[in-house]
Amino acid sequence: MRLSVLDQSPISEGSTGAEALRNTVDLAQLADSLGYHRYWVAEHHGGPMLASASPEALIGPIAAATSEIRVGSGGVMLPHYSPLKVAETFTILAGLFPGRIDLGLGRAAGTDPMTTFALQRDRRQASPDDFPQQLAELLAYLADSLPEDHPFARLAGTLPGLPEVPAPWLLGSSLQSAIWAGELALPYAFADFINPGGAEIAATYRERFEPSDESPLPRTAVAAWILCADTTEEAQRLASSSRMTMTLLRRGQLIAVPPPEKALEFLAREGKTVDNAVPGRRAIVGSPEKVRAGVEELAVAYGAEEVIAVTITHDHQARRRSYELLAEAMWLEPRDVLTSAPRETF
């Protein structure tokens, strides 16, 4: 089983977005050395908690600062963009870092309705809900498979990073995304941290999978909240920070990631304990032994060949430690890598 990272570039209370982005590069270097398979960065807009507004801008610096780990988007929220522009951007990245770039694609806005509207170029009316058409056009550019009489057909041959192209993935948390991924023979990454009831959806993806020459078999990854510490008690204490932010998010209140002491006080006032603060959300939190068992159970439930860990803590060193302990618990093989952008000089 492969183990990977999804980084949302969390902004800690008392810190800045710039520091969060530097922490992302630092964590990617650590993940590379620990033996993680891929490192994806997310897309979120208009909030004080996450600095990951532009995965396409982060991927290049991360790939340049690492050696072997795959780097990509988890994901690009395609409704905000022109398919051609996305294809051009990611072939540039693929050309610079051959064989290492993933293009994870999502349908969600990654923000609230007002910020979504602010992201539009044309604000005379809401953008159409034409994700299937956007996705088909983007994939056709990458595969150079537009019909000869299509008005954009010649553009596929002009993508700047050719012959290198990124590896496309479809991201989702719903049945519809699973159906699309299966019909298009795409690898599928399911967001269990958004919808923890997705095992049957992942099974539907495999049932609906239509093999192609490029993708003869389905490939399933599952992304989940995971936090590991030396003891379960310490892991639960650290997890209180993200549980406070998620509790308030459900009420429409957006905050930076608070320190555990502040979060524990908040949860106590709410009458919540550290292990039941956000109903309906699965979190694999605990000691290395407990987390290993949870990760293995999750992978079996989803029939997944890969688990992608999403970890948010107030303290960056605690997040680094969580990924170190997780790598040890899952017996990852460390890499002897050279990092080209040491943290202290980045």
Q: Residues 311-334: pLDDT tens digits? A: 999 999 999 999 999 999 999 999
Contact 241, 207 (CB under 8 A): no
pLDDT, mean of residues 70-90:
96
The tens digit of pLDDT for each residue in 106-119 reads: 998 778 888 888 88
What is the pLDDT, as a whole number, of residue 109?
79
Count of CB atoms within 10 A of residue 345's CB? 5
Does residue 16 surpass a pLDDT of 90? yes
Does residue 214 surpass a pLDDT of 60? yes
Does residue 276 surpass a pLDDT of 60? no
pLDDT, mean of residues 193-220:
95
Does residue 278 surpass a pLDDT of 80? no
Separation in Å, CA 22 to CA 96, 109, 178, 237:
21, 25, 34, 25
Using CB atoms within 10 Å of the CB of residue 251, give its burial: 0 to 12 exposed, 13 to 18 middle, 19+ buried: exposed
Write phi, then psi, for 263 (nearest 5 degrees). -65, -40
pLDDT, mean of residues 267-279:
75
What is the pLDDT, as a whole number, of residue 176?
96
**Neighbouring residues of 43: CB distance < 8 A, sequence distance ≥ 6:** 52, 53, 54, 55, 73, 75, 76, 77, 106, 110
What is the pLDDT, as a whole number, of residue 343?
43
Beta bridge partners of 130: none
Cα gap 336→66, rounded to integer Å:
11
Contact 173, 110 (CB under 8 A): no
Q: How many domains does the chain have?
A: 1
Question: Which CATH number does the domain housing residue 177 bear?
Answer: 3.20.20.30
At 280, is the pLDDT very low, low, confident or very high (cuts 50, 70, 90)? low
Q: What is the value of pTM for the model shown?
A: 0.94
Q: Which domain holds residue 18?
A: 2-345
What is the pLDDT, as a whole number, of residue 273?
75
Beta bridge partners of 74: 104
What is the pLDDT, as a whole number, of residue 268?
94
Contact 327, 47 (CB under 8 A): no
Helix, coil or strand: residue 327: helix
**What are the CB-based long-range contacts (under 8 Å, 24+) for 85-91?**
86/56, 86/138, 87/138, 87/141, 87/142, 87/156, 87/159, 88/159, 88/160, 89/56, 90/56, 90/161, 90/165, 90/166, 91/142, 91/159, 91/160, 91/161, 91/162, 91/164, 91/165, 91/166
Cα gap 67→227, rounded to integer Å:
25
Does residue 342 surpass a pLDDT of 80? no
Q: Which amino acid is at 115?
A: T
Q: Minimal CA–CA distance to 110: which of 70, 85, 76? A: 76
